[in-house]
Structure 1
């Protein structure tokens, strides 16, 4: 396979990483439509790539599986053991063999995520690039910084670890891109030519005018996540937290979900908590269902996140990537950690520190209701926290800049 014909294989290891990978791939395809593009989802089924695959410009390769931990085995020993029992070692072995074989056929590799895809790209023997998505030096530079982990990162001067530095320094590693300038600066102190060209997570999102049908309401976006069964239980907990809120005007709760949890399961929870079915106040909202109880109106919108996020005044969340995107729009949030496997207390605290406190984890449902009411009542606080969130997440445009870097460094575009 010639250099010009060499396909680009993207290795991605998580739902948020898949979203970032897809946005970069869309821009690569726009810049260079004839370049063969492939994706290997190391964790989960990679459902976000389905439309691109059906359109014919992206090909899915290799074995994948939805693991019990949802890709968060590093959050707990239990999650790791469950993944091992579900066949993680064999899955990883088969993925490694495939990547080695494709490298011999001339593939270039782009790793998106953390150590796993980076190590796999390195082991392939092919030229590779790396987009480091989950780690930021803001997580240990923000907050009290008294934990062993914070002290460890402070000694290193970077959240990335020495074994990861070694893989980023290799001659075959043609590109290292991270999520913010602070993190890139930390890596450069260790001899790594790290760049921060922008955060693809903010591409395609913007604040828009609120529909007339919602203007008289306080507006809250509810993000329960997408990994089942955790997401459904988190929806139940978040919805129950709102039941103690008393507002002088109607409260519109916009439940933006993906393909999971299913609408039928969400509606069973609403029925259990005393809501009754109603008609949406306007067809223009594109809500799949509307439920009401007193002054609270629940609108459910599968696939409506990008449309609805900019309407919200605040968020309640147990999600990862979507929470960061919401805060990046300048909309602060409160979160309610649960038993996991993803959205546990440690994850929520790390997310809060990453975002400069623009999302605040709460210990109990009553605390969440109190903090949310404070946000809705204090416009100055919302503006202050929203500004911090926008700064931490950065402006849109990162996908196109990353795509040009990938083509330049890996394909000589």
Structure 2
């Protein structure tokens, strides 16, 4: 047991500790906000990257809406006494509690999903407890990956290509948010290759191949990998940068998987899923994304900004055939229409053109963005009493 008084340790957008009760409350809030509807079959699902962002939303929506069974995989750190456990650790514990309370059959594995050992362990669990997988959702966002074949360690970077990137950014270092300038030098060819190795589709394909080798692909198997396109405002550092190169590789992987013998035999499907903007641990680290998202939230308002859970509900309903697939010309599932609406983007560009004046008009959006960053780590969450000792040593959910 480790009952401790903790306060947030924050540097800009980076918060290095988490509040267990706050993190748990964010899961309960999301869970309660998803309409429960588990009539019909209960598909077997494997969620890779289940503990944060769209992966967490996909897990919770799958449980609440479709009663999924199966395995979630994430790589999180426990409480060390010097630092708390990661927020994803605490979120997983609460998700497991809610799932058990509601009678769902889901197991959670804490492991590096890029590793061969993790694949073997997860496939053993699936083989023993669930059988063939109906849905594989790939939502891994990581700073590095060790290639299981060569042992080489690749590090992803967020950089433009061809020329340096200079743009306004959101600065929270003072008492009030302000506009600063971001400059990032272009990525090298080696950095592009490394980013593709981490964030591209190689590991996604390895998971599908591993499932196929164990005969764990169900008839009609579907796999979906989360991606993002975003606005032309952020394109130079995102879609046209090193991350964009990785996302293009992810999309090529979807085409290759669809054409593979393993999926054709099962009449399977493979999609990339273009989600809309969200405040996640990954997105908050990208220069200028914070300011863009603050402007976007201001333009669409609270009711127009579709959160990760709302988008995950849409995704599951499409994958399970309750609503038609919304596909673009490239065969990608699109969840981002609300963000890329022409009128919305026209207004965002107006704010972006004069960012200081834009921030004055979007101050509420900037404050909202920072509150969402704190929320990611369980801080400043409504309904949580801070300022008293809390148990930080929370066990990882044991298999039932």
So what's the TM-score if we normalise by structure 1? 0.29
Greater RCO (CA < 8 Å, at least 6 residues apart) = 2
So what's the TM-score if we normalise by structure 2? 0.30
Greater CA radius of gyration, 1 or 2? Answer: 1
